[in-house]
Amino acid sequence: MPGTKRKKVTIVDVAAKAGVSKTTISRYLNGKFEYMSEESRQKIADVIEELGYRPNSLARSLKSKQSFVMGVIVSDITSPFSPILLKGISDCCERFGYRILIANSDDEPRKERDYILSMIDQSVDGIILNTTGGNEEFLREVADAGTKIVLADRTIDRELFDTVHSSDKDVMHQLFRYLKGEGYESVGYFTQPLTNSTRISRCQIFRAIYNDYFQGPAQVYFLEKKLRDASVMQEFMRDHAGHKHCLFTGNGVATMRCVQTMRDLHIEFPKDTGLCGFDDWSWMNLVGGGITTIALPSYEEGRECVKRMMQNLHNGQSVPPKNIELPCTLHVRHST
């Protein structure tokens, strides 16, 4: 009826609908899953969504002395990776009755430090960090002082911090097997400067496994100043002339720069060289019949970061750091 006030959904309603006790719902909301099956967790999550239940954050905060706010800092919010990661974090936090406080460090270690201190001052329960790098000692001090930190995508010290990232090595083996099967004889790796752990790790993997599939040196080409991109591309084409070769990029930004340079130099893929790379951004399926890509589990990384944080916050005792690797997906398209 018009004007009728909708009855507020309570934890008792959720428990009745899910067929479990009020205590079980409370344990779910507080991330205590030790004696809860995956089936029960999913059922509770579905009921919460169906009924539109919203935990009373103020009451929970007063009772538990927690803010139920999660700090999230990304290194570059303009990267297509970041919104997908944030979506995973946000969706999972919502299920636990958490709100998120977001900051962008612009890949500047100083900004990252300032935002971390600001979030601590605002009493966030923990911080999910896509780190810039360069703050290792500072982060150790913050963690030693009691702030829970989970690292997203980029790593620092796996002995101290929980880390959730993609399993790059397995999918690079898969890619190289495919390229070799397609008759490619050499691959050149294009990357931005090695200023963070992800770039360093992928470059190291490339060099380590290259000769399992191809002969000759594992050649790496650095995309630094954009003005030099054309000369770097020309160097690659000279180095690999005379046989079927492929250009492999370390992330979506590198792919974009390579595509722009190839267009300027009238280099066609796959006619003149193959092209593939990390990150499966939406435009990559639309260019030149589609670019072969490695899709990262960005959304799943966000969800796993939250789940790991909840275990840290509500376990009641120290939890050993865990390194969680999530599988990538190879999408083969016209460019190779």
DSSP codes joined into one string, 223-271: --SGGGHHHHHHHHHHHTTTS-EEEEESSHHHHHHHHHHHHHTT--TTT
Architecture of domain 11-54: Orthogonal Bundle (1.10)
How many CA atoms lie less than 13 Å away from 29 in the CB half-sphere?
A: 25
**Domains of the chain: which residue ranges?**
11-54, 66-165+299-326, 167-295
Distance CA 301, CA 222 (A): 27
CATH number for the region 66-165+299-326 comes to 3.40.50.2300
Kindly report which listed range (6-20, 55-69, 187-201, 311-325) carries the lowest average pLDDT score: 55-69
Residue 57 pLDDT > 70: no
Residue 63 pLDDT > 60: no
Q: Residues 4-22: pLDDT tens digits?
A: 555 778 888 898 999 988 8
Q: Residues 88-133: pLDDT tens digits?
A: 999 999 988 899 999 999 999 999 999 999 999 988 999 999 999 8
Given a contact cutoff of 8 angstroms between Cβ atoms, the answer to whether 288 and 334 are in contact is yes
Query: Residue 100: beta bridge partners?
Result: 70
Q: What does each C-alpha distance from 87 to 129, 134, 166, 258 come to in angstroms? A: 14, 26, 17, 28
167-295 is classed CATH 3.40.50.2300 = yes
- Amino acid 62: pLDDT: 45
CATH fold match for the domains 66-165+299-326 and 167-295: yes
Q: Residues 264-294: pLDDT tens digits?
A: 999 999 999 999 999 999 999 999 999 999 9
